Amino acid sequence: MNLAGRIALVTGSSRGIGRGCALELARAGCHVALNYWSTPAEDADATAADIHALGREALVVPADVSRRDECERLVAATLERFGRIDILVNNAGTSKRKPLLEQPVEEVEHVWGVNLWSVFHMSQLVARHLTARADPAADCNGKIVVISSVLAEVPMLTSLAYNTSKAGLNHMARTMAGELARYRINVNTIEPGWTDTPGERRFVSEDDIQREARTLPWGRLVGSDEIGHACAFLCSDQANSITGATLRVDGGYCLPWRRPAEA
């Protein structure tokens, strides 16, 4: 997959799945604008250093992508540095796990702000840029990838806000794909399964993660680099005819069986 010279903007890309996507896009040839907000700045700087080591350029922009003005600033900074945006990966996300009867409204609003509103804001802003410079004769004029989750379809209990936001993202992406097809702009969704990320450790102990991972059909968690491989493929010319699709990368999480617990 040759993405040499293309410019990618990846939200929530200092670590985890966002970092995996940023690094794989860089390996394929992209220069990358990295975004972070609630994670340590050192993580974003480390990801930028890894991209530089691959011979690509990296820009680090802290921004709260749940806010429209911050999204505008992020897009403007990327355009100022690189002159254009070819690829947008909407990865920024958060979760607050509590039972329905106990969850404060403010937590739900925060999750929906980061997970849903950020994708609307960023996609609209970047799509306006892409359509303004679209070449009617080109086979593709840009790529938008939305990182959703298998929990859009398989609801995890105590994760109502997150589950709902990801289900909404799937339909948002399909709608955007339909509207942007006339401009030859691809919009696709990736549904990661249970993925090995630092954020997962906020909710589950390392021992529990390793024990439960062995019960999954593939016998392990998905790697963030594997999500990155899927992302790079969807952003490549080989995927120009793929739009409005959902690519599940879950190691069989959604299959109706599990390995024995002792396996």
DSSP collapsed to 3 states, 184-226: CEEEEEEEECCEECHHHHHCCCHHHHHHHHCCCCCCCCEEHHH
- Report the distance separating Cα 39 and Cα 53, nearest Å: 22
Alpha carbon 154 to its chain centroid, in Å, reads 19
- Report the distance separating Cα 156 and Cα 81, nearest Å: 41
Residue 76 neighbours by CB distance under 10 Å: 12
- Report the distance separating Cα 14 and Cα 144, nearest Å: 19
The identity of residue 103, as a single letter, is Q
* Residue 90 main-chain phi, psi, to 5 deg: -85, 95
Q: Is 162 a catalytic residue?
A: yes
Alpha carbon 173 to its chain centroid, in Å, reads 12
Burial bucket for residue 151 (CB in 10 Å: 0-12, 13-18, 19+): buried
Burial bucket for residue 246 (CB in 10 Å: 0-12, 13-18, 19+): middle
Which residue in 188, 152, 22, 156 sits closest to 92, CA to CA? 22
| Active-site pick, 36, 162, 183, 253 | 162
Which residue in 71, 6, 87 sits closest to 37, CA to CA? 71
Question: Catalytic positions, please?
Answer: 162
